[in-house]
Amino acid sequence: MGKTIKIRVPGTSANCGPGFDSLGVSCTIYNDLELTLLHEPALQIFVEGEGVDNIPTDDRNLAWKSIQTLLRHCKADEEYKGAIIRMKNGIPLSRGLGSSAAAIVGALKAANVLLGNPLDRRGLLKIATDLEGHPDNVAPAIFGGFTVSLLNDGIPECFSFMPRLLLNLVVAVPDFHLSTKAARSALPLDVPLKDAVFNVGRAALLVGALLKGNAAFLRNAFDDALHQPYRAKLIPGMYDVFRAAKEAGALGVAMSGAGPCIIAFTTDSMDAIGHAMTEAFHRNGVEAHFLTLGIDKRGAHIVK
Ligand code: HSE
């Protein structure tokens, strides 16, 4: 049997309000993926924790597909034809916390390490973005921190930084799933210029205020006109939850990725904000719980 490696990958929240498909943040909630590459064409996949009843343990498994992509890319698919994969998942599935990005990034990083690191993090970002379709979850999963990512002629670029203020994350997790595909199909092909202008200013303000550590500017920086208004119908009570979070003291609040989780950004009052958000969901007939998280600094890394 070959060598085994274990990788820890953070969950992520994409968009962060105005940064549709561009901004993301790495959260202190994790999946562990342990990989052994095999020379023979055998596949064993074990799943524990979140997604235990939903994640396929055969050829359809996203982590395995990602490993195969990396092996082909590095011309190692003749040498390694099988794998043993153990997934221990803390990130809820299909809720907007980057569970598929974590599966992809954990698998790519593990296979890359076992091959002797032929790719650097930018190389991993390219393959991960191709697999995920957009860079805003895989970038923070790889680099940690707050990330600005974009595609330049199909090549992803990413800038990662830690905000210069202690920003905490309160995530309200409703008890239903929403696929990214369904949430993306709610979006229009074109948006009004005034909505684009609304977001450009706020996305720039958000990054500037985080880099400066200016909490006062953040109060207007998390709003969005490009995707949330079209997706609101998919999340009962979304704007009530937004209001409740702000009234309880949040600096800003947004859909987490494509939802249905709602994320509040705050410097304090985390529990009060979490209770206010879940109560607002309950008033709209939706069961929910909340997570109080920080910003993960490291991104995907080896666990000794
Ligand atoms: N930027 C993506 C979206 C994130 O909002 O559709 C979802 O993974």
Q: Does residue 2 have a pLDDT over 80?
A: no
Residues 161-194 pLDDT 10s: 999 999 999 999 999 999 999 999 999 999 999 9
What's the whole-model pTM score? 0.96
- For strands 288-293 and 252-255, give the pairing: unpaired
Residues 196-237 pLDDT 10s: 999 999 999 999 999 999 999 999 899 999 999 999 999 999
Average the pLDDT over 80-100 and give the result.
Answer: 96
Q: Are 107 and 141 in contact (CB under 8 A)?
A: no
User: Domains of the chain by range and CATH?
Assistant: 4-162 (3.30.230.10), 168-293 (3.30.70.890)
If you measure from the C-alpha of residue 180 to the centroid of ligand 1, how many angstroms do you get, rounded to a whole number? 6
Q: Are 246 and 230 in contact (CB under 8 A)?
A: no
Amino acid identity of 64?
W
Find the length of the chain. 304
Structure tokens belonging to residue 57: 């343990």
Q: Residue 1: pLDDT band by 50, 70, 90 thresholds?
A: low
Q: Is 154 helix (H, G, I), strand (E, B) or coil?
A: coil
If you measure from the C-alpha of residue 14 to the centroid of ligand 1, how many angstroms do you get, rounded to a whole number? 6
- The verdict on the CB of residue 228 being under 6 Å from ligand 1 is no
- The verdict on the CB of residue 15 being under 6 Å from ligand 1 is yes
In the block, residue with structure tokens 């969950």: 11
- Burial category of 185 from C-beta neighbours within 10 Å (exposed 0-12, middle 13-18, buried 19 and up): exposed
For Cα atoms 154, 157, 162, give the angle at the middle one, nearest 5 degrees.
Answer: 155
